[in-house]
Structure 1
């Protein structure tokens, strides 16, 4: 593992001058730079969301998610460097109000994610092969991307690198071996759980769902096996140090991560992913996420997600439930429309945008979001959206306008 990571960092260092410019200054924001968002999202197999090889997506992933390939995108390196593909993106955005979930610094223009990765895919089609990947990001999203399930000072969590609203995170650093239809990933990697993902390029919307932010892990440390049993069945199984850890173990964290992705038809995929055991900071318990992804027509795509979380936190039982529905419509190669309607319920409550939590049992939270993805060139996508949140128990409503732009390279 150390040799693999050393190779990655050596490769990444060759592009450090350009990477530093993009990460810190965001220079070149208006120029046509970067790989297509969908091409980059393809690297995120093993995640939910719009990563086109993700367990919750099938061939229809390009409907509504901004994942389809465009012609002639600009890339940081047109060919692999030392066997590694290198790429990334920079994301800048504005939100009128805080959602309390990633978009928590309102009424200003923020650099949410400036991201670079190096990857060698393990291809087992011709026998044994190895691969590896590392991701490094800078921005306001870093605090929610770090391994916050760690003990403070470990890996990228509260390690002194952050300053003000900006910080650094290294959400992935793993090796992988593959042979035939079986591959095993070991190290620090993104979760399988859910539909939405942390990387901005993997989502249709700028803002995030309550379910994704509150009831799902973002990263794990451990080992994860993927087995393609047939063209329609993929199985997952592995062990992790709980939720959101980076090469560290909190309070004896030790849990199972696994599930299956089933191709029901040529146009429908069903994915079931679970975690069970000691999740570390979240306590002992069980969670699952079920995602149904259906291409209704060539232009319409529908996604239904249902999550369940049940944890013993030590201070009491916390149960959470979420039901999210997404509907996407592809107007043409440049324009897509999308909507998300969500119900989320929790025993613990939620501190939304600085609002106080509500004690005294299970409470429901709702949001409806409507947005547009506009892709004027292969490397740039602009995502304006309108979001309405309401909590019946607190007689609370909020309307939020947000817009961001993602430039890939």
Structure 2
């Protein structure tokens, strides 16, 4: 018998409090709802100033262009109360390679050494470095993601409706072939301009099109689908102006809502939460301003043409999008984003409301806990009313290996669903990450159409960034 969702949520919330509550320096603030908090930085949501997955709030430039891995702790074993193995054997390599590697790593070999808390990722590669210097405001790059999973995640047996990204089981899928290009807007010395363009192909692309817009416009039902679940999308195309503490994006861009994102390198897990896929917009078209003139606080506000729209207004879509991200303490970041108005196709032209809350907490230099919740009321006509609570716990063993768990309770139109996912992230190189996971989905609803929802799904993918 599966434990109740309340019991799971209570256990997951309490877990970090009993584990190694050592202090650490504040994590680096990235996109709302995402903060780099551990030595193993599995993603930098919406990316860096050098043009990683997006550039909504650029952190420090990342040498790998998508995933940043900080240096190993000088005494990683001491951080967990064990004897530092490198102290035992580094002299064996000192003559050959200066003692930089040790414990059976053959004095310079990449990957894992014998010491489980030490790894050598190697030098990252970025195609932009072939033609651009590190001070250039221009950027380009991309990544390739492929994976395989055993089952669909379905909400309805009758129509085989797989309300999730991973909906083609039993085969190796090219999920994301992604390329981006742009210029950073640096307003530190006065008015500056920038832009960004992203294009993607794969099984994830057909779920990222502007399906909230008018059919036949932008990338939705416009000949981009190629069959077999494959297709293309243009998830971002916007210009940006920046001056001092202000910046304004105008065009088609990713949402501020939620914690998980479309861009694969910026998520810990291969699969996505029900809440993210069903109760959060992916993209907007409009104008969005950011103000960062206060210490540890950023404000956001603007107008967008509804939910997942291209450059048209479906059913009069028009809504406010905004909120704030606050560094409450050195180790806790809180983000609140809300939106209100006509969602367009998603609310059938009615006025709706939604918000997202993300609390990101650094428990120790290895342990990170995240609480995230969404609420959406899309109006009476569609009957779309949902609430979701997601909790995440991540532990980094070193720069190469991390473990994570995600517990979700999701309620859609009165029906509750639960999910428990746990997995690993293994970086065999600065540009390559492998993400195996095991996911359990279940519901206590007595509904024949939901009989196949109770399932266990195994999946694994790999991401190569460049």
For Structure 1 versus Structure 2, the TM-score category normalised by the shorter chain is 0.7 to 0.9
Q: Is the 8 A contact 2:426 2:434 kept in 1?
A: yes
Residues 1:369 and 2:369 aligned together: no
Q: In structure 1, what is the Cα distance between the partners aligned to 2:380 and 2:226?
A: 31
- What's 2:128 paired with? 77
User: TM-score, normalized by length of structure 1?
Assistant: 0.81
Shift in Å, 1:51: 10
Deviations 1:263-282 (A, max 9, x none): 00111100000110000012
TM-score normalised by length of structure 2: 0.72
Shift of 1:162: 1.5
The alpha carbon displacement at 1:58 in A equals 3.1
Match of 1:266 among 330, 351, 359: 330
Contact 1:56 1:270 in 2 (8 A): yes
Partner of 1:253: 317
Q: Distance in 2 between matches of 1:392 and 1:294?
A: 31
Cα displacement (A) at 1:65: 2.9
Distance of 2:390 and 2:323 partners within structure 1 = 20
Give the RMSD, CA atoms, in angstroms. Answer: 1.8
Task: Tell me, yes or no, if structure 1 residue 238 matches structure 2 residue 302.
Answer: yes
C-alpha contact 1:336 1:374 (8 A) present in aligned 2: yes
Q: Which residue of 1 is the match for residue 372 of structure 2?
A: 305
Tell me what 1:346 maps to.
412
Mapped partners of 1:273, 1:320: distance in 2: 16
Q: Secondary structure at the match of 2:345?
A: helix
Q: Work out whether residues 282 and 313 of structure 1, in 8 Å CA contact, stay in contact via their aligned partners in 2.
A: no
Report what 1:288 is aligned to: 355
Does the 8 Å CA contact 2:28/2:35 hold for their aligned counterparts?
A: no
Unmatched runs of 5 consecutive residues or more in structure 1? 1-49, 348-361
Instruction: State the partner residue of 1:275.
Output: 339
Measure the CA separation in 2 of the matches of 1:177 and 1:64: 29
**Number of the residue aligned with 2:31:** 54
Distance 1:63 1:193 in 2: 24
Q: Aligned to 1:77, what secondary structure does the other structure show?
A: helix
Structure 1 or 2, whichever has the larger Rg, is: 2
Q: Distance in 1 between matches of 2:205 and 2:369?
A: 30
Q: In structure 2, how many angstroms separate the alpha carbons of the residues matched to 1:121 and 1:69?
A: 22
Contact 1:289 1:307 in 2 (8 A): yes
Corresponding residue number in structure 2 for 1:332: 398
Q: Do the aligned partners of residues 219 and 367 (structure 1) sit closer, same or farther apart at CA in structure 2, a change above 3 Å counting? A: same
- 1:266–1:372 Cα change, 3 Å: same
Gaps of 5+ in 2: 1-26, 44-66, 71-121, 154-161
Residue 62 of structure 1, CA deviation: 6.1
| Structure 2 residue 248 is matched with structure 1 residue 196 | no
Change in 2 beyond 3 A, CA 1:77/1:63: closer
Q: Distance in 2 between matches of 1:271 and 1:146?
A: 26
Alignment deviations for residues 17-69 of structure 1 (CA, whole Å, 9 cap, x no partner): xxxxxxxxxxxxxxxxxxxxxxxxxxxxxxxxx99620112342765634433
Please list the CA deviations of residues 347-382 of structure 1 after superposition, one character each: whole Å capped at 9, or x if unmatched: 1xxxxxxxxxxxxxx110000000100001111000
Q: Distance in 1 between matches of 2:38 and 2:221?
A: 36
Is the contact between residue 39 and residue 366 of structure 2 (CA under 8 Å) also seen in structure 1?
Answer: no
